[in-house]
């Protein structure tokens, strides 16, 4: 395997000073790169100098600590760049990386962008520059996800008929589960989406990105398998935030950990299966590096992430149109944000 240098953009605060479960994603990415043979974290950039400096000390980066992405690219010239900043910055940062000759791969945090046009733009820019784009939907890289996919393909629950998903919201947390459903479905195209949303109070991620408070979405894959996703009230109960795959002869539940449970018509009861393996974050970074080294299509590619993203925007667009929408989507904006701004979906006073 080739040796690659890595630059982290958006270090965030040191884990000891973070309010995000003890970590920023910049630190998570860096620690996962450290676990992969054939690459090293060599530089970082963050607009907050104190954050960049603390990160540089943590990972012994010397003077390769920056507050500007272009300065990092010009001086350190990393071949792989991980972007761990808020979604509103992703398009500009990816475009900057794509314009730099030394960058071979960009690994970007999700969500892809605040608008569907921006999400498409990430893929288009990297395709045009012949740069590998991956999105950190890491759960499809876990050993447990691979085993769930294999046993479904092998007919353990008969023919797959339906996928049921529950999560806090669609674009920030639910995207992982929608992407996992797409992974099990071999990223099969979605034919249509039907959805409804509720926004009775302000609910915002990253200071400027609204998320629905409650939603219900249904879609159909090309093969006829249906999926249903609910978010908000009722999905925070134990066991509710999960993927359930329902077949003609049984069902499987997977909660994004290193285990799943299965019930078949033959057994008649739930059986929990412990899978183990490396953390999904480490596995995802290994996929990024391996795919680049071997010139392979990574399973966390930007194109695949766009498929899950399109389902989310499709639910919001269905709510805006008050009807079913066919895919591919022909919109550029963010329907949820547009409805809030227009007054069609105002939070309660």
Two tokens, residue 305: 């992430």
* CATH 3.40.50.720 domain span(s) along the chain: 4-138+282-300
* DSSP state, residue 235: S
Give the 3-state secondary structure of residue 25: helix
pLDDT at 1: 46
* pLDDT tens track for 206-234: 888 999 999 999 999 999 999 999 999 87
Q: H or E element: which one contains 260?
A: strand 259-264
- At 24, is the pLDDT very low, low, confident or very high (cuts 50, 70, 90)? confident
* Residue 16 binned pLDDT confidence (cut-offs 50, 70, 90): confident
Cis before 333 (ω within 30) = no
Mean of per-residue pLDDT scores for the chain: 93
pLDDT surpassing 90 at residue 181? yes
DSSP 98: H
User: In the predicted model, what is the mean pLDDT of residues 300-321?
Assistant: 98
Indicate the pLDDT class of residue 144, thresholds 50, 70 and 90. very high
Q: b/e string for 142-178 if b means 16 or more Cβ within 10 A?
A: bebbbbbbebbeeebbeebeebbbbbebbbbebbbbb
Are 15 and 25 within 8 A, CB to CB?
no
Q: Which secondary structure element, helix H or strand E, spans residue 95, and what is its range?
A: helix 90-98
Q: What is the pLDDT of residue 83?
A: 98
pLDDT of 233? 84
Q: In terms of pTM, does the model score above 0.85?
A: yes
Mean pLDDT of 161-174: 94
Q: Model confidence over 100-114: pLDDT tens digits?
A: 999 999 999 999 999
> Do the beta carbons of residue 39 and residue 5 sit within 8 Å?
yes
- For 104, list phi and psi in degrees, rounded to 5: -105, -25
Mean pLDDT for the stretch of residues 325-347: 94
Is the model's pLDDT at 184 over the cut of 90? Answer: yes
Neighbours of 336 (CB within 10 A): 26
Given a cut of 50, is residue 117 above it in pLDDT? Answer: yes
pLDDT at 154 over 60: yes
pLDDT digits (tens, 9 = 90+) for 35-82: 999 899 999 999 999 999 999 999 999 999 999 999 999 999 999 999
pLDDT for residue 239 is more than 60: no
Distance (Å, rounded) from C-alpha 275 to C-alpha 141? 13
Q: Which CATH number fits domain 4-138+282-300: 2.120.10.10, 3.40.50.720, 3.40.50.10490, 3.20.20.70?
A: 3.40.50.720
Burial (CB count <10 Å: 0-12, 13-18, 19+), residue 101: exposed
Task: Show the 3-state SS of 168-232.
Answer: CCHHHHHHHHHHHHHHHCCCCCEEEEEEEEECCCCCEECCCEECCCEEEEEEEECCCCEEEEEEC
* CA distance linking residue 191 with residue 181, whole number of Å: 15
- Which residues are paired to 177 by β-bridges? none
Query: SS3 sequence, 143-171?
Result: HHHHHHHHHHHCCCCCCEEEEEEEECCHH
Does 238 score more than 60 pLDDT? no
Q: Which residue has the tokens 């993203």?
A: 309
Asked if residue 235 has pLDDT above 90, the reply is no
Give the residue among 153, 148, 152, 118 at the shortest CA–CA distance from 135.
Answer: 118
Nearest to 136 by CA among 174, 99, 105, 176: 176
What pLDDT is attached to residue 349?
Answer: 43
- CATH 3.30.360.10 domain extents, the chain: 140-277+307-342
Cβ atoms within 10 A of the Cβ of 276, count? 9
Please compute the mean of the pLDDT values over residues 272-298 and round it to a whole number: 95
pLDDT of residue 121 exceeding 70: yes
What is the CATH code for 140-277+307-342? 3.30.360.10
323-333 pLDDT, tens digit per residue, is 999 999 999 99
Residues 236-253, mean pLDDT to the nearest whole number: 84
Rounded Cα gap, residues 243 and 181, in angstroms: 7
Which residues neighbour 254 within 8 Å (Cβ) at sequence distance 6 or greater? Answer: 144, 145, 148, 180, 242, 243, 245, 260
Which residues make Cβ contacts (< 8 Å) with residue 241, sequence separation at least 6?
A: 166, 167, 168, 173, 177, 235, 255
């Amino acid at each position: 395997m080739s040796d690659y240098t890595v630059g982290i953009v958006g270090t965030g605060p040191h884990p000891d000073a973070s309010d995000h479960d003890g970590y920023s994603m910049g630190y998570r990415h860096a620690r996962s790169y450290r676990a992969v043979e054939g690459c090293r974290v060599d530089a970082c950039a963050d607009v907050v100098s104190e954050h960049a400096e603390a990160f540089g000390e943590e990972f012994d980066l010397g003077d390769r600590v920056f507050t500007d992405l272009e300065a990092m690219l010009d001086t350190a010239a990393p071949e792989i760049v991980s972007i761990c900043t808020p979604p509103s910055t992703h398009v500009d940062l990816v475009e900057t990386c794509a314009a730099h000759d030394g960058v071979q791969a960009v690994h970007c945090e999700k969500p892809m962008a605040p608008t569907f046009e921006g999400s498409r733009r990430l893929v288009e820019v990297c395709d045009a520059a012949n740069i590998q784009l991956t999105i950190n939907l890491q759960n499809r890289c876990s050993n447990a996800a691979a085993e769930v996919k294999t046993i479904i393909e092998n007919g353990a629950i008969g023919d797959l008929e339906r996928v049921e998903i529950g999560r806090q919201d669609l674009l920030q947390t639910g995207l992982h589960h929608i992407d996992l459903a797409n992974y099990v479905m071999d990223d099969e195209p979605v034919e249509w989406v039907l959805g409804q949303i509720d926004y009775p109070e302000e609910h915002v991620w990253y200071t400027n990105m609204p998320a629905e408070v409650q939603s219900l979405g249904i879609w159909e894959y090309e093969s006829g398998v249906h999926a249903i996703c609910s978010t908000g009230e009722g999905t925070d109960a134990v066991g509710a935030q999960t993927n359930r795959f329902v077949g003609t002869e049984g069902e499987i539940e997977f909660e994004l950990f290193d285990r799943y449970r299965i019930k078949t018509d033959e057994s008649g009861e739930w059986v929990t299966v412990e899978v183990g393996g490396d953390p999904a974050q480490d596995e995802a970074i290994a996929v990024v590096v391996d795919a680049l080294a071997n010139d392979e299509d990574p399973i966390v590619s930007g194109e695949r992430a766009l498929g899950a993203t399109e389902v989310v925007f499709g639910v919001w667009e269905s709510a805006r149109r008050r009807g079913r929408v066919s895919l591919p989507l022909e919109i550029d904006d963010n329907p949820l944000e547009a409805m809030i701004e227009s007054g069609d979906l105002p939070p309660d006073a």
